[in-house]
Amino acid sequence: MPDYDSYDLIVAGGGTAGCLIASRIAEHGIHPKTGDRLRVALIEGGPYFIGGQQEPRPGYGATGRRQAIVNINYQEFRAEPWPYDGHQNKMMGGCGLHWGGNAYHPIKEDFDHWRWETGVDWDEEKFRSASQEIREVYNIHPAPEQNMTRGNFLFRDAARGTGYNVGPAPVGRSNCIDCGYCGSGHLCKYDSKGSSLYYIHLAEINGVKIITDSEVEKVIIEKQGGRAVAKGVHYTRHGQHNEARAPKVIVTCGTAGTPVVLMRSGYGSREFLGDRLIVENNNVGRHLDGDMGHGVNALFDIDIKGDRGGVGRYFFRMMGSMGYQTLRINDSKMSAVDEAYPHVLALHRFAPDLGWEHKEYMRTVCRRFGNISASLAAAIWDKGVVTPIGKFVYNREDARVLKSLKEGTELIVELYEKMEVKPVKIDRKPPKRFHIGHQTSSCRAGESRKNSVVNSDFESHDVENLLVASAAVIPRGNLTSAHIPTSLVAAYAWRRIVANHFTRGV
């Protein structure tokens, strides 16, 4: 008996893309020779708080799960985090559980950018049924007017008055009560936010073997003559070393985790790997992209929130000096990574010194605090690198990016000053440094190994039987954030992978 487990397919990384791909391949794929159902393993580094029961519905029924869901946000996972940069939710479901629900579906320009960047053959027509799936699962729709606050309307009217084409930002939620507690960092206690829960449930009912608390150390890559072939993975569970083997391995460990796993497997550039190199590809861990943002805070002397939770937003897109900028308003919403928590506002530069005046400020500040953010998307810049230990390295003081964010800051200040009710304080300073969010492209798809790691069908250019998906394969940062692009590309990926590898006779 071999001392490893065998499957037909191993998916490494149970996040947004991993849950989607594993569940759909288990549902639709068959063994190409026998026609049998596939034995699929999904291996995730974090725990499985929400599973193990028929209905993954944290808002109903199971008290323990409900408590876990309400109180979890991605920051709590910093207690036992991945050592990677970026926000990595280390649990079954990945960032697909705690993302902000701002659901921008890729637009024509995104497809144009992807093709132009690396020569992928992706277009809107090929992605049609994937798009339909994602629109339905996430219930993508414009934020309804009843979710908009007075702050939202002040922003909308000032921007429209300046000639911008402002519309409600799309959301991915169903039956949302606008409690406002999920903006970007909390899981939804009512299952309203479109999330990995749907696909985790699908994985359960399609017999996917879900292996959690298991860090994939590396893909087993064997040299056979001149070829390199993936045979399975090594992973560590509760301190114990394990091996699993399968004729196909898909790595879906996100933008930071995917290149780390590939480099630990000996797959990457000579510069990074030295004598640990087994298969050379200079694009593993390179081209790190995403969007760069800056929020301009303001304090009003009126309540701009009212009785709304604050998940609605208006937004518009425009061209800045080096790329597209998206402007959107957040007024004072309760959210783990935004600015409007009381304990954050208590120490904000708008806050008076401690004393009666501070108490007076704290009485109402959560309803008077506004934020409009500019985000620079799909910029042409020098891009970054993910190192073998998952650190993001790029020039955080790139003068062109800072210039563009300064233009965004000035425009936002102008909009505040055009509002029917003007703020009493505005944080006017442009940023001196920036960081990228919604990170993508660290193992991108493209036409050849000269510019990418996998082809348009997600197959490694260099290692047979190895495939890669997740935000890492998106050829370039998007105009549409990252969650829906990642899910859309994953929904396209499972279709291609089933057609190419898990259909009778292929």
Ligand X SMILES: Cc1cc2nc3c(=O)[nH]c(=O)nc-3n(C[C@H](O)[C@H](O)[C@H](O)COP(=O)(O)OP(=O)(O)OC[C@H]3O[C@@H](n4cnc5c(N)ncnc54)[C@H](O)[C@@H]3O)c2cc1C
Contact range with ligand X by CB under 6 A, out of 22-30, 91-99, 144-152, 278-286: 91-99
Contact of residue 100 among ligand X, ligand SF4, none (CB under 5-8 Å per partner type): ligand X
Interface pick for ligand SF4 out of 91, 159, 169, 188 (rule CB under 6 A): 188
173 binds ligand SF4 (CB under 6 A): yes
Q: Is residue 179 within 8 Å of 226, Cβ to Cβ?
A: no
185 binds ligand SF4 (CB under 6 A): no
Task: Show contacts with ligand SF4 in window 94-113 (CB under 6 A).
Answer: 101
Pull the structure tokens for residue 425. 């304080």
Task: Show contacts with ligand SF4 in window 441-480 (CB under 6 A).
Answer: none
Task: Compute the least distance from the CB of residue 170 to ligand SF4, in Å.
Answer: 14
Task: Compute the least distance from the CB of residue 226 to ligand SF4, in Å.
Answer: 52
Contact of residue 346 among ligand X, ligand SF4, none (CB under 5-8 Å per partner type): none
192 binds ligand SF4 (CB under 6 A): yes
Contact of residue 452 among ligand X, ligand SF4, none (CB under 5-8 Å per partner type): none
- Integer Cα distance of 91 and 33 in angstroms: 34
Measured from the CB atom, the residue of 268 and 309 that comes closer to ligand SF4 is: 309
Task: Compute the least distance from the CB of residue 99 to ligand SF4, in Å.
Answer: 11
The DSSP secondary-structure symbol of 246 reads -
Contact range with ligand X by CB under 6 A, out of 276-284, 321-329, 377-385, 476-484: 476-484
Q: What angle do CA 435, 474, 453 make, to 5 degrees?
A: 110
Task: Compute the least distance from the CB of residue 178 to ligand X, in Å.
Answer: 15
| Count of residues touching ligand X (by CB under 6 A) | 44
- Integer Cα distance of 133 and 191 in angstroms: 18
101 binds ligand X (CB under 6 A): yes
Nearest by Cα to 146 from 174, 172, 168: 168
Measured from the CB atom, the residue of 158 and 250 that comes closer to ligand X is: 250
- Integer Cα distance of 120 and 116 in angstroms: 8
Amino acid at the residue 66: R
Task: Show contacts with ligand X in window 140-169 (CB under 6 A).
Answer: none
How many CA atoms lie within 13 Å of 20's alpha carbon, on the beta-carbon side? Answer: 34
Interface pick for ligand X out of 8, 22, 102, 370 (rule CB under 6 A): 102
Q: Is residue 280 within 8 Å of 408, Cβ to Cβ?
A: no
Binding characters for ligand X, 234-253, by CB under 6 A (x = yes) = ------------------xx
Cα dist from 168 to 139, 141, 142, 146, 148, whole Å: 15, 9, 6, 11, 9
Nearest by Cα to 18 from 194, 200, 192, 172: 200
Helices (H), 190-253: 197-205
86 binds ligand SF4 (CB under 6 A): no
SS3 377: strand
483 binds ligand X (CB under 6 A): yes
Interface pick for ligand SF4 out of 15, 94, 151, 180 (rule CB under 6 A): 180
94 binds ligand X (CB under 6 A): yes
Task: Compute the least distance from the CB of residue 24 to ligand X, in Å.
Answer: 14
182 binds ligand SF4 (CB under 6 A): yes
Q: With the CA atoms of 121, 126, 129 and 131 taken in that order, what torsion angle do they form, in degrees rounded to the nearest 10?
A: 50
Task: Show contacts with ligand X in window 5-34 (CB under 6 A).
Answer: 12-18
String of DSSP letters for 439-489: EE-TT-B-SSTTT-SB-TTSBBSSEETEEE-SGGG-SS--SS-SHHHHHHH
Amino acid at the residue 358: H
